[in-house]
Amino acid sequence: MPEYLQMQSVPVDSNWTDLKGYVFGSSYPTQNPEELLERIIIASSNPGDLVLDAFAGSGTTGAVAEKLGRRWIMIDCGKLAIYTMQKRLLNLKREIGNKGKLLKAKPFTLYNAGLYDYQKLKQLPWEEYRDFVLKLFQCRDEPHRIAGVQLDGYLGADDVLVFNYQKYKDAVLDRGFIDDIHSILGDKIGRRFFTIAPAASVAFLEDYIERGNTRYFVLRIPYSIIDELHRKGFTHIKQPVSEMDVNNTVDAVGFDFIQIPDVECEYYLDEPEGQAALGHSGKDAVIKIQKFESNIISKKPLHYENMETLSMVMVDYDYDGKVFNFDEVFYAEDLKKQNYELRFNSNKLDGQIMLIYIDIFGNEKREVKKLEDFRKR
């Protein structure tokens, strides 16, 4: 194992005052400098070794391990941490301190793990699986046909299809699947249509795709605890509502499984204050959050007011349709001061943006928006 030298002939001691502290102004409030992790990794491993960080935060360990030729595993319970790590590895620079030319990281996988047995669920016979997932999302089991398409039930008044991944093993739910469903059912169904499918069978990230007057939602079988399979309770980790709370994701509420929160927003373009007086023509794109309510099913009765469970909103301003590479995070505490408005220059809407609304329990609502989705005032 190599000896790390502080100077040419003096080994480093236990007092590392030559290294700086947190990287203030970074995308993660308690981000450590890469120089610190460089020293630790070189002193404790060799090239090709596996480095594990169980409280990975901003992902400094993985980033430096990648640069130093080590393999790595990073773990964290915070959604901000997870997306920060992903962003960091997608935008890695070769030199320590994140300088120099871009370094393309070796392929890596993002796993969302919990106290569940997903394989056990997938091994259920089709009828048991179908019954389970309908109950999982509180759908009524009422088989019916529309335009020759066999559907499985209703969520409220809306039609539900359970995707038979066992029968169509090589099929994926992509935009073409949505287009095909819409061409057959588009004028025969309401404003919402739901498909239940394993997350691995879905080829797009957003929670719904809009065609005509209908939103086609995909309810992904959640990678979370499934109480029916484990017969045990669960205490879920809360997500932060402010930058100061990023590392305090511990207090929790028991629940059976996750569900997408209800989010309603107004999207419009607005002349920022003082802009016209300065002779500028640019407009702000404004997202006004009007409703945010979580849909957790708790083991004890709980009631939350509108906006009370909002944790943060994360934005990727140039979403490529494949990977969410976030650019900015808006915490609930700051949004409250801004009357729950997200504002950014409309010039950032060249292509499409992805928004991820996250509640304090880690549930997500994802949307993809383009400039034409923002009305003029």
Flag whether pLDDT at 352 surpasses 90. Answer: yes
Mean pLDDT of the chain: 80
Per-residue pLDDT band for 137 (boundaries 50, 70, 90) equals confident
List CB contacts of 63: < 8 A, sequence separation 6 or more: 34, 37, 88, 89, 92, 98
pLDDT computed for residue 219 by the predictor: 86
Flag whether pLDDT at 353 surpasses 90. Answer: yes
Lookup: tokens for 151? 């559907």
CA pair distance 377, 374, nearest whole angstrom? 9
Better-scored residue on pLDDT, 306 or 377: 306
Flag whether pLDDT at 2 surpasses 90. Answer: no
Residues 46/289, Cβ–Cβ less than 8 Å? no
Please give the backbone phi and psi of residue 196, each rounded to the nearest 5 degrees, phi first.
-100, 125
Per-residue pLDDT band for 260 (boundaries 50, 70, 90) equals confident
- The most confident of 42-51, 200-209, 288-297, 320-329, by mean pLDDT: 42-51
CA pair distance 219, 160, nearest whole angstrom? 10
Flag whether pLDDT at 346 surpasses 80. Answer: yes
The candidate with the shortest Cα–Cα distance to 53, out of 24, 20, 99, 88, is 88
pLDDT computed for residue 278 by the predictor: 41
> By three-state DSSP, how is residue 104 classified?
coil
Flag whether pLDDT at 81 surpasses 60. Answer: yes
Distance of CA 161 to CAs 120, 147, 241, Å?
A: 22, 14, 35
Roughly what angle, to the nearest 10 degrees, separates helices 60-67 and 79-90? 20
Better-scored residue on pLDDT, 114 or 134: 134
pLDDT in tens, 275-317: 544 444 578 999 999 999 987 655 445 678 899 989 999 999 9
CA pair distance 162, 158, nearest whole angstrom? 13
pLDDT computed for residue 78 by the predictor: 79
pTM (predicted TM-score): 0.61
pLDDT in tens, 168-210: 878 889 999 999 999 999 889 999 999 998 877 888 888 889 9
pLDDT computed for residue 232 by the predictor: 37
Flag whether pLDDT at 69 surpasses 80. Answer: yes
Residue pointed to by tokens 């102004």: 25
The candidate with the shortest Cα–Cα distance to 317, out of 344, 282, 280, is 344
The candidate with the shortest Cα–Cα distance to 332, out of 353, 314, 355, is 314
pLDDT computed for residue 234 by the predictor: 40
pLDDT computed for residue 132 by the predictor: 84
Rounded average pLDDT over 203-228: 75
The candidate with the shortest Cα–Cα distance to 286, out of 236, 242, 343, 333, is 343
List CB contacts of 171: < 8 A, sequence separation 6 or more: 165, 177, 201
Flag whether pLDDT at 237 surpasses 70. Answer: no
pLDDT computed for residue 307 by the predictor: 93
Distance of CA 137 to CAs 37, 61, 149, 303, Å?
A: 44, 38, 21, 19
